[in-house]
Amino acid sequence: MTVQTELGGGRGGLSVTQQALDAQTALLPYALAIFTISLPVYVWAGSHAPNAVWMSATFAIFAGAWGAFYAVVNWLKRPEARADLVRRGRVQILSGLLWAAAVAQMAAFADGAGPAREPLMMTALAASVVIVFFAAPWLPSLLIIGSAAVAGPLFFLFNDPDSAELANLAWGAVALAMALALILNRILRGQFSLAVEREALIADRAGMVEAANKLAQSKSDLVATLSHEIRNGLTGVAHVLAAAVGHNGRSAPSREQLAAALDAANDLISVLNTTLDSETAEAGRLSVDTRPFDPVALIRDLVLLNRPNAAAKALELTLHVAPELALAEPGAAIADVHRARQILANLLGNALKFTLRGRVEARIELSASGRLAIEIADTGPGLAADELERAFEPFNRIERTSAGTSGAGLGLSLSRQLARLMGGELSGHSAVGVGSCFRLELPYDLTAQPDRDGVAAEPAVPATVERNALRVLIAEDDALNAAMLRAVIEQLGHQVVHAIDGRRAVDLSKVCEFDLLMIDGRMPNMDGPATIAAIRALDGPMCGAPIIAVIGGDAAEAKECTQAGADAVLRKPVSVAAVARAVADAIAVERDPPRIRVVA
């Protein structure tokens, strides 16, 4: 039981045990030498015994034990013996017990040796103490072999009343030897533990160095990718702007040039947003808000939004819904609807981007395990097995298929991270020249009631809400950001009041009533969280007004704003669709006291 416990310990226990066995193995040749040197002395002393036949048998037993022990020492030098700790420990204990049995036989022979009894008995006792010493490095060996080795001589000494005094001395000597061996074992175990900790520290340091190298490489890839994408995007926009102001004697830009510049700007914003999400996910600060939603409505909206892009490339875009999901029965996917939309929009966008002819098909069904499965299949160029594996790595683009297209190589990597955060999985299979199919699996609850309002399609164009126009207070210290946000809000049909910092926003909230407040997360004098908290602490209806925190993309900043009382979070750079969704999310939150909406 002791052996199994010692050998079957944890990772650190195994390492200590291995060092103890190594130390004991290193001592075994010396034990072999000591018994070899002691043999002539023992033979000389035994020659004075009256029983010559027994002496010959004792010598034969001693020689047999020596030969078996020599074989064990040679076996322990083999790599396969050193690898199997359990077998190795058992062999070392059995070989030690073999010597203990030989010493017991020597003590039995000495007991009947007449005048040579006491010298031979002391020789057997000395042999048992030697065994105790060589068993000391490993505690199970010391307790088992050491106890067995001293048992024979002590038994025969105490068995004879005439040797009572000698037996007491022998018992004291054995007790002292065992105590010293236990102290030695304790010291060695401490040294072994320190060695284990040292190895662990070395491994941790190597891991930290590797992680630091990977982080440095990731940052280098990030800078290289962003530099390339930003340069390409801004160059296209700069050319169109140069034409717009009449540089180089050219005429005003055409509609196609403006469309190309807008596409380049949108691609650049997409790359930046994806990069920020990916970096946030790598740092472990990306969070998801899982709740029931209707996955069929979500995929239908995305397919509808992507049909114009498919038609422009003469591609067929279809949707297949499994019969069990087509019926309007209770049941919902359990995930973050906005992150699920982000993943599926990326998969559909990739399929349409890389497919030159043929079709793209979206399929939604329940898997055999009861999870929701959404597949996006295309007839694009396809990927080899190694290319597919690399496609899921961050900042890795497949040159064979992605030449001439924009992107940072983060879409699939980020999508897989988001899927796993929601308890799902994103996988894919592909064949060169045939096409690719990516499969998103999410948890699904047959008894849940979906929140069908949460999957409405993002508006492709701004919706003017004249009968529900809101008075919006914007707190933004950056004039350019404020102008952009004002333009978007007014494009949505609302009225805007601008405050240059948080203090001014709080002062305006004390004397005016607003239907919505949009507070920048980082401002001088009073930052976003402090401003939000101050407004929530006001007396009157403004304490319950909906508040949107406009942040730069930091997850910690978003958490601070929401804890201070923000109803929704909007990340820069803003877009019309993102602002419209944030406004809808914010005004949907019910607060006490109820808000007062001013209709212009």
Within its chain, how far is the Cα of 410 from the centroid?
Answer: 18
CB atoms within 10 A of CB 85: 17
Residue 243 maps to a domain: no
CB atoms within 10 A of CB 402: 17
Domain total for the chain? 3
Please identify, among 142, 170, 205, the residue that sits at the C-terminal boundary of a domain: 205
Residue 552 maps to a domain: yes
Count Cβ neighbours within 10 Å for each residue of 96-135 and write b for 16 or more, e otherwise. Answer: bbbbbebbbbbbbbbbebeebbebbbbbbbbbbbbbbbbb
Whether 366 and 492 map to the same domain: the answer is no
Please identify, among 205, 234, 260, the residue that sits at the C-terminal boundary of a domain: 205
Whether 408 and 519 map to the same domain: the answer is no
Residue 421 maps to a domain: yes
Please identify, among 177, 205, 233, the residue that sits at the C-terminal boundary of a domain: 205
The set of residues, in sequence order, having a beta carbon less than 8 Å from that of 267 and lying 6+ positions away, is: 229, 233, 406, 407
| CA-based end-to-end distance of the chain | 85
Residue 226 maps to a domain: no
Residue 261 maps to a domain: no
3-state secondary structure 171-222: HHHHHHHHHHHHHHHHHHHHHHHHHHHHHHHHHHHHHHHHHHHHHHHHHHHH
Residue 513 maps to which CATH number?
Answer: 3.40.50.2300
- Residues 379 and 213: their CA atoms lie apart, in Å, by 38
Q: What does the pLDDT read at residue 595?
A: 40
| Residue 558 structural domain | 471-587
Q: What does the pLDDT read at residue 361?
A: 93
Whether 318 and 431 map to the same domain: the answer is yes
Whether 88 and 42 map to the same domain: the answer is yes
Q: What is the dihedral of CA 589, 595, 599, 600, to 10 degrees?
A: -100
The answer to whether the CB of 28 falls within 8 A of the CB of 99 is: no
Phi (first) and psi of residue 358, to 5 degrees: 110, -130
CB atoms within 10 A of CB 431: 13
Residue 408 maps to a domain: yes
Whether 306 and 380 map to the same domain: the answer is yes
| pTM exceeds 0.75 | no
Query: Considering only CA atoms, which of 413, 416, 404, 386 is closest in space to residue 222?
Result: 413
Helices (H), ranges, 112-163: 117-134, 139-141, 147-159
Whether 346 and 491 map to the same domain: the answer is no
Whether 485 and 424 map to the same domain: the answer is no
Query: Considering only CA atoms, which of 377, 370, 315, 371 is closest in space to residue 351?
Result: 377
Whether 432 and 529 map to the same domain: the answer is no
For CA atoms 490, 494, 499, 501, the dihedral sign is: negative
Average pLDDT of adjacent 10-residue blocks, the chain of 600 residues: 42 65 79 73 65 68 75 77 79 85 83 79 86 87 89 89 86 91 89 85 87 71 61 66 58 63 65 62 63 88 85 89 77 85 86 88 89 91 84 66 53 82 89 90 87 48 52 87 84 88 90 90 87 90 88 77 87 78 73 38
The answer to whether the CB of 138 falls within 8 A of the CB of 28 is: no
Whether 451 and 484 map to the same domain: the answer is no
Whether 438 and 477 map to the same domain: the answer is no
Q: Which amino acid is at 77?
A: K
Whether 526 and 431 map to the same domain: the answer is no
- DSSP codes joined into one string, 292-305: EE-HHHHHHHHHHH
Residue 251 maps to a domain: no
Whether 400 and 536 map to the same domain: the answer is no
Residue 429 maps to which CATH number?
Answer: 3.30.565.10
Residue 600 maps to a domain: no
**E strand or H helix that includes residue 69:** helix 52-75
Return the structure tokens found at 284: 């472990």
Rg of the Cα trace of the chain? Answer: 40
Judging by DSSP bridges, how do beta strands 435-442 and 444-445 pair with one another?
Answer: unpaired
